[in-house]
Amino acid sequence: MKRYPAEYKEWVVEQMMPPVNRSVVELARETGVTTVSLRTWRNEAREQGRVVPGNGKQSDKWSSADKFRVVLETASLSEAELSEYCRRKGIQPEQIRQWRAACEQANAKTPPKADMAQLREEATAKKRIRDLERELKRKDAALGKPQRCWC
């Protein structure tokens, strides 16, 4: 098993962090380090409380856990410190405000009845679409549509 210096591991983990946000596969291809090692290093950094999405996604597509970590990291920062943090991480202060509001609403009471009715309608529509797609597949099979030949 190959050993890497701590500085090298740190550099690679920083490449997976904002604002660079390089994917594990991309880094593995470029550096020659296995994807298993890269994911292990990323998980170790996460356990230390660092924000490491590591999936090549931009900040608006991060996981809830990563967004929550950013909210926690920035909770006590002044406006100037927040701006500096955002520049370093490649995110917007407004995104953090939205994430904070979402965190605050996470344990709110159930949505009003109007919202519940809308959720029910959406669920019913999804079920109907799924049923129609199933029926279409069944009818296509009954008609004996020819299979494509990939010769």
Q: In whole angstroms, what separates CA 43 from the centre of its chain?
A: 15
At residue 31's C-alpha, the angle toward residues 29 and 37, to 5°, is 90
| Total-model pTM | 0.43
Neighbours of 42 (CB within 10 A): 21
| Same-domain check for residues 13 and 50 | yes
Distance between CA 133 and CA 127 in Å, rounded? 10
Q: Is residue 71 part of a domain?
A: yes
- Reply yes or no on whether the pLDDT at 129 is more than 90: yes
Q: Is residue 134 part of a domain?
A: yes
148 or 143, greater pLDDT: 143
| Same-domain check for residues 3 and 47 | yes
Give 3-24 pLDDT, tens digit per residue. Answer: 888 899 888 888 887 667 778 8
Q: In whole angstroms, what separates CA 75 from the centre of its chain?
A: 21
pLDDT of 141: 85
Confidence of residue 126 (pLDDT cuts 50, 70, 90): very high
Q: Which amino acid is at 81?
A: E
Mean pLDDT over all residues of the chain? 80
Give 37-71 pLDDT, tens digit per residue. Answer: 988 988 888 788 776 665 555 666 677 777 888 88
Confidence of residue 131 (pLDDT cuts 50, 70, 90): very high
Total domains, the chain = 3
| Same-domain check for residues 6 and 47 | yes
Domain that residue 99 falls in: 58-108
143 or 147, greater pLDDT: 143
Q: Is residue 80 part of a domain?
A: yes
List, in sequence order, the alpha helices (H) in the chain: 6-16, 24-31, 35-47, 64-74, 79-89, 93-105, 113-143
Q: Is residue 45 part of a domain?
A: yes
Q: Residue 112 to residues 36, 122, 131: CA-CA distances in angstroms?
A: 46, 16, 29
Q: Which of 35, 57, 79 is the last residue of a domain?
A: 57
Q: Which two tokens stand for residue 56?
A: 């090549």
